[in-house]
A and B are shown apart, each in its own frame.
Chain A
Amino acid sequence: MKQIVAVIKPFKLDEVKEALKEAGLVGMTVTEVQGFGRQRGHTEVYRGTEYEVDFVPKTKIELLVDDSAVDGVIDAIVNTAKTDKIGDGKIWVTSVDDVIRIRTGERGPDAL
C-alpha cells in the first residue's frame, strides 16, 4: 500500500479529480495549503508599498492506493496538472504500514 501526495495548482483540482475518478480511485483527501518552491512567491503593492508574499496558495491531494495502482495514478495527475509553467507542483509516494477502515475495523488492502 502506498500513500500518494500531490501538491498542485488550485485551479487544476477539478481536472485532476475527474482523471482520478476515471482511473478508478474511490476516495481522496484535499487540503488548501500555502508554500513555495522554485516558483517562489509574488509581490503585492498597496499604496506604493511593496510586500513580498513568499507563500503561494496550492492544493494538496492525499491518496491511499494499492501498489499496483501507483503508476496509473501518477500518470493521471501528471497529465492533468501539468501546465509546463514553473509552479506545477510535486508528487511523492511513501509506503504505508497499515490502513484501517473505522466503520468495519477492516485492515490492510481490504480497507482501501
Chain B
Amino acid sequence: MESGDRAWVLISIALVMFMTPGLAFFYGGMVRVKHVLAMLMLNFICMGVITVLWSVIGYSLVFGGTNPVIGNFDHYVLTDVGAGDIEFFSFQMMFAVITPALIAGAVADRIRFSAWVWFIVLWSLLVYSPIAHWVWAPDGWLYDMGALDFAGGTAIHINAGIAALAFVLILGKRNGWPNHPMPPHSLPLTLIGAGILWFGWFGFNAGSAFAADGIAAQALLNTHLAAAAAMIGWLIVEKLVSGHATTLGAASGAVAGLVAITPCAGFVGGAAPLIIGVIAGAICMFAVTLKTKLGYDDSLDVVGVHFVGGLVGSLLLGLFADAKINQGIEHEGLFFGGGLKLLGIQALGAGAAIVWSFVITAAIVLALKAILPGGIRPSIEDEETGLDLTQHSEQGYALSER
C-alpha cells in the first residue's frame, strides 16, 4: 500500500470507530431518562466485546479461506495477519463493531444487559460473519456473482435492520407501548450523535475505497450529498404529514440518507446521490410509522431507517451503478444501459441476507430466551424502575446533591 493510501485508510479506521459512540448518543437521546445509560452501554460494549471477538476468530470467519459461503479458522487470534493485512483487518473490525450496535435501538428499554452481550457474540459469529463473507470476501458467492455493496448496505444495514425485526418480535413490546407516551429525553444528544455519525460516515464510505483516489473522493461527496438530500426529503414529507419540521426528523432523515448511500457510495456519480438521498428520506419517513400500524415495537426505528434505507440504497444501485465512476462494476445499472441484470442481482443479495439474518437471529434469540437463567427481559418492575439503575446500578444525570 502506498503511503498516501495508507494514511487515508488509517484515518478512516479512526473515523469509523467514532461512529459507534456517535450511534450511542443518537440512540441515547431518544430513550427515556431512566434508560439512557443502558442504551449507551448496549452500543459501547460492542467496542469491547466485538473487537476481541474479531481478533480471536471473527476476521478469520469472514476473510479466511476460499469457501463461497463462510471463512475458516486460518487466522484465529491474528495468525498470519501480516504487514499487508493490518489496515484491512482494522478497518473491517470497526464495521464488525458497529453492526450489532445498530440493533440496540430496536430492543431499547427492555433487554437484560447480560443477554445482550451473549446475543452480540452469537450474532456476530453466526449472522454477520457469513453475510459479510458472501458480500466482501473475494470468494464470497454474492461478490462472485457481481453483487455490489460498496460499504455495507446489505451486509450491515439490511442485515442489522431485519435482525432487529426478528429480535423485537420475540422480545415483545416495551411495557406500556404504544399507549403510554415514550418521547425522547434529550434531542440535543440525538443531534450530537447524528452529527458524529455523519462525520464518521466519510471514513465508512470513502475509506471503503481502500485508497486515497478518485473513487474515495466520489464516495465522500456522494455521502454528504445523500445525507443532505435525505434530510430535506424527510422534512418535506414530515411537514406535509404532521405540520412541523422536527429536529428528530432532520437527524433521522440525514441518517436514512447515509444508510441508503452506503452500498452506492463508490459506484454512482452526478445527480444520483441526490436522487437516492431524497427518495430514501421520504420513504423512511413513512417506514417509521409502520410499526404502530403493524404492532411491532421497534423502539428507535432500526427497521424503518436501517432496513428500509439499506434496501432502498441497494436496489437503487441497480438503477444508478455507473462504470464511468468505478471500473470494477461488472454489470451497470438500468439507467446506464445495463438492463435489469444488476437490479436482479441486488434483489437476490438483499433477499439472501434478509432470509439468513431473520432466521438465524430468531433462532439465537429463542435459544437465549430458553437457556439464560434470567431470560432476555428484565422484570416489569425493573423495566419500570429503569434499566440504568437495575442493570448498571447507576443514574445518567445527577441533577441535585444526594
List residues of chain A with CB under 8 Å of any chain B CB. 44-53
Contact = CB atoms under 8 A, between A and B. Distances in A.
A43 to B, nearest CB: 9
B289 interface: yes
A45 B242 contact: yes
B184 interface: yes
B289 to A, nearest CB: 4
B288 interface: yes
Nearest to B289: A48
Contact of B242 (A48, A52, A53): A48
Nearest to A44: B183
Identify which of A47, A48, A49 gathers the most chain B CB atoms within 10 Å of its CB: A47
Interface string B47-77: 0000000000000000000000000000000
B285 A46 contact: no
Nearest to B286: A48
A46 B292 contact: no
15 contacts: A45-B244, A46-B248, A47-B249, A47-B252, A47-B288, A47-B289, A47-B301, A47-B304, A48-B241, A48-B242, A48-B285, A48-B289, A50-B242, A51-B181, A51-B183
Given A51-B181, A52-B181, A53-B181, A46 B289 contact: no
B244 A49 contact: no
B226 to A, nearest CB: 20
A106 B100 CA distance: 68
A41 B243 CA distance: 17
Contacts of B301: 47
Interface of B: 178, 181, 183-184, 238, 241-244, 246, 248-249, 252, 285, 288-289, 292, 301, 304
A48 B292 CA distance: 10
Contacts of B183: 44, 46, 51
The 4 closest A-B pairs by CB, nearest first: A51-B181, A48-B289, A45-B242, A47-B288
A29 to B, nearest CB: 19
Nearest to A51: B181
Contact of A48 (B178, B181, B288): B288
B246 A45 contact: yes
Given A52-B181, A53-B181, A47 B248 contact: yes
Nearest to B184: A46
Contacts of B243: 45
Contacts of B238: 48
Contacts of A46: 183-184, 246, 248
Given A44-B183, A46-B248, 12 more contacts: A45-B244, A46-B183, A46-B246, A47-B248, A47-B252, A47-B288, A47-B301, A48-B242, A49-B178, A49-B289, A49-B292, A51-B183
Contacts of B248: 46-47
Contacts of A51: 181, 183
A107 to B, nearest CB: 33
B2 to A, nearest CB: 45
A72 B315 CA distance: 73
Contacts of A49: 178, 289, 292
B182 to A, nearest CB: 8
Contacts of A50: 242
Contacts of B184: 46
A48 B298 CA distance: 14
A23 B289 CA distance: 54
Contacts of B181: 51-53
Contacts of B292: 49
A51 B285 CA distance: 17
Identify which of A48, A49, A52 gathers the most chain B CB atoms within 10 Å of its CB: A48
Nearest to B238: A48
A46 B238 CA distance: 10
Contacts of A47: 248-249, 252, 285, 288-289, 301, 304
Identify which of B181, B244, B248, B249 gathers the most chain A CB atoms within 10 Å of its CB: B181
Contacts of B285: 47-48
B181 to A, nearest CB: 4
Contacts of B241: 48
A53 B288 CA distance: 21
Contacts of A53: 181
